[in-house]
Amino acid sequence: MANLRRHQRKFLHRKAGKLKFVRAAIVQFENLSKTYQVGPNVINALRDVSLTISEGEYVSIMGPSGCGKSSMLNVLGCLDRASTGRYLLGGSDVSVMDDDSLSSIRGARLGFIFQSYNLIQQLTVIENIEVPLYYQGRGATESRELAIELATLVGLQARLDHKPFELSGGQQQRVAIARALVNDPLVLLADEPTGNLDSTSGTDILKLFDDLNRQGKTIIMVTHDQNVARHTKRAIRLRDGQVESDGPPA
């Protein structure tokens, strides 16, 4: 895929006469907390979380209901702001950005994949993939060529003119993945991407994520399913808004 490795910046360091590749940090949380006021009560959704995710990593975020997974995803996706601490995305401190800047960051640096696909039912496969490009003001010819390229990447080259209701759940999720890739984002954020799929379709989607990660894409996936998490290379487990463990999936 064209430009798929645009952000694959690796820095060379010499140590003991050898060359060592060091991946750039893409996501950095520094003592980050998120609280919500619910009536007279204060909910501590995230508590003093510090972590770093480097380019090319494939990470799952796990934990029981209410542990802070959704809050972390919202902060990662610049959909919500941290209450305290810092969040650096690709070296930019998004904690201090205004709403317009956050919107620009979401459109340029992040790709979102949801459990419910979030496709526009009136549009075809190719048109759904083109939507983010339309909002960026890309030319029609360029947008169509890139959308076709991405549809082919996810195996939908024969379905370009179909609408979502004519597709299976797995095919709809493939459209959503292609749409998330159109801006060549720094990070793909996936929220339970196989949650609405049967086991066969879910396996196919996870294989697609595996392929994208092998090609260099940084992927952060929220899931409660240990079998899904096994596809990732690092599992961050949350409990009561704090990082309980961080390492290879079980």
Please list the alpha-helical segments (H only) found in the chain: 69-76, 99-109, 125-135, 140-153, 169-181, 199-214, 226-229
Instruction: Name residue 142's amino acid.
Output: E
Cβ proximity of 118 and 180 under 8 Å: no
Q: Is residue 1 part of a domain?
A: no
Is 236 a domain residue? yes
Query: In angstroms, rounded to a whole number, what is the distance separating the alpha carbons of residues 37 and 55?
Result: 34
Tokens of 98: 């205004």
Residue 73 confidence (pLDDT)? 96
Asked if residue 75 is part of any domain, the answer here is: yes
- Neighbouring residues of 39: CB distance < 8 A, sequence distance ≥ 6: none
Q: What are phi and psi of 86, to 5 degrees?
A: -125, 150
How far is the C-alpha of 239 from the C-alpha of 122, rounded, in Å? 41
- pLDDT number for residue 17: 52
- The answer to whether 223 touches 62, Cβ cutoff 8 Å, is yes
Structure tokens at 135: 């909002």
Are the C-beta atoms of 29 and 49 separated by less than 8 Å? yes
CATH number of the domain that residue 42 is part of: 3.40.50.300
In a domain, 67, yes or no: yes
Residue 81: both structure tokens together: 């702001």
In a domain, 92, yes or no: yes
Residue 143 pLDDT: 92
CA distances from 216 to 147, 173, 222 (A): 20, 20, 19
Torsion over CA: 103, 107, 108, 112 (sign):
positive
Q: Which domain holds residue 122?
A: 10-247
| 4 inside domain | no
Q: How many domains does the chain have?
A: 1
Question: pLDDT tens digits for 168-211?
Answer: 999 999 999 999 999 999 999 999 999 999 999 999 999 999 99
Q: What is the pLDDT of residue 250?
A: 79
Task: Determine, yes or no, domain membership for 23.
Answer: yes
Place of tokens 């340029």: 108
* pLDDT < 70 stretches in the chain: 1-21
3 falls within a domain: no
**Contact present, 179 and 185 (Cβ < 8 Å):** no
How far apart (Å, rounded) are the C-alpha atoms in residues 132 and 130?
6
